[in-house]
Every structure is written in structure tokens, then in C-alpha cells.
Structure 1
Amino acid sequence: ELANLLNNGFVLCHPLIVGELACGNLKDRAVILSFLKLLPMSAEAEHEEVFSFIENNRLMGRGIGYVDAQLVASAVLTGVPIWTLDKKLAQVADGLHIKYKN
């Protein structure tokens, strides 16, 4: 399904995702990172917007970190769903009605 979404131009990335992956050990690192950089990027929430988003949506103590909060806030700003395999992030996204449903 992901391949289909990619081929049809329905996938956005976020700069923090690229950054997080760049910090890890990737097979075919250069190819993967260059491919990710070619994807359209979602809007990035400003630092203060993320703090307000955390407070307004009571995301504290929900098992997600700041990067995840940034991703959720950015998805809301951009008006797109989040596709994740991370259980805590998926729960938060589902609660905000932005979890991707295939």
C-alpha cells in the first residue's frame, strides 16, 4: 500500500523524520536519505506552537516525545494523517483523528 501511495504522490515527509533516520545506521544510507529528501515535506510547527499543542491536547505523559509531538502538530497544521508503526504515536494520532486508516 505504501508503494501505491508513493507512486500516486500521496506521501509527505517531515524534516525531523529525515533527521532521525540520518542519525541511525541505514543500509543504502545515501540512497534512502536522498530519496526521502525528494519527497514533499509537511509544514513544520514552530516551537511555541508545539508547546501550546502539547498543553491544549494534553499530550504530556502519553508516552510520546517532543519529536512525536512536533510530527502530530505538523500533521494537524498540514491537514494530513500520520502513518506510523509506533504504538504510542498511533494512539495519540487516533485520539486526534489524524491516524492514517487504510
Structure 2
Amino acid sequence: MILVDTSLWIDHLRDVDSRLLSLLASDLVCIHPWVIGELACGNLKNPQEILSLLNNLPSCPAANEAEVLYFIDQHQLIGRGIGYIDAHLLAASINGVQI
């Protein structure tokens, strides 16, 4: 499964990304709850429809707080400009999800 990050969803919603469309058609895309949350806070044209479609995608395994903090420490991400949500997505990728 491939975890698609928020910025790619935003790009896809503005101008259809044929590669993402192909991955979606092949059932290769999963979603992280924090990506849905970020998109829900944004300015979507059809928020209920889009969020409903995203919620129908397979959910990737989310790391808990302790796992993310451990991941940040072990991969020396402190002070590198990586945000907490991205750290969650990266930690989820360690659990077998491709980003």
C-alpha cells in the first residue's frame, strides 16, 4: 500500500494526477487519519464528498505517540524541519506502508 501525503492530495484535487488516479484504480492507496484531518481543515470545494471518499480508502496503521517520539529520536529528526504530522506519516511508513 502507498500512503499519499496531504500535499499530493491537494495537488491532485487542483489538477488530476494520472499516476495517483492509476494507483487509486488499482487499490494501492491507503490513508492516514491525520491526512484526512489536515484536508478537513483546508478549503475543499466539496468537503463532504471528498472526505467521504477518503474515509472509504483503507486506513494505514498509525503509530502511537511513544512510537513517533522514539522514531524522531532514533532517526535524528530533531531540528531538521520535519513537522510532527510528517513524523507520524514517516513512522507509519516504517510499519510497512510506502510513502
Structure 1 stretches of at least 4 aligned residues deviating more than 6 Å after TM superposition: none
Distance (whole Å) between structure 2 residues aligned to residue 25 and residue 47 of structure 1: 28
Mapped partners of 1:32, 1:60: distance in 2: 34
Indicate the residue corresponding to 2:75 in structure 1: 57
**Cα RMSD after superposing both structures:** 0.7
Gaps of 5+ in 2: 1-18
* Unmatched tracts of structure 1, length 5 or more: 83-102
Instruction: Encode CA deviations 1:25-47: one digit per residue, 9 max, x unaligned.
Output: 10111111000000001101010
Aligned length: 81
Listed as ranges, the matches of 1:12-91 within 5 Å are 12-77=30-95, 79-82=96-99
| Identical aligned residues as a percent | 49
Normalising by structure 1, we get a TM-score of: 0.77
Q: TM-score, normalised by structure 2?
A: 0.79
Query: Whose RCO is larger (CA < 8 A, sep 6+)?
Result: 2
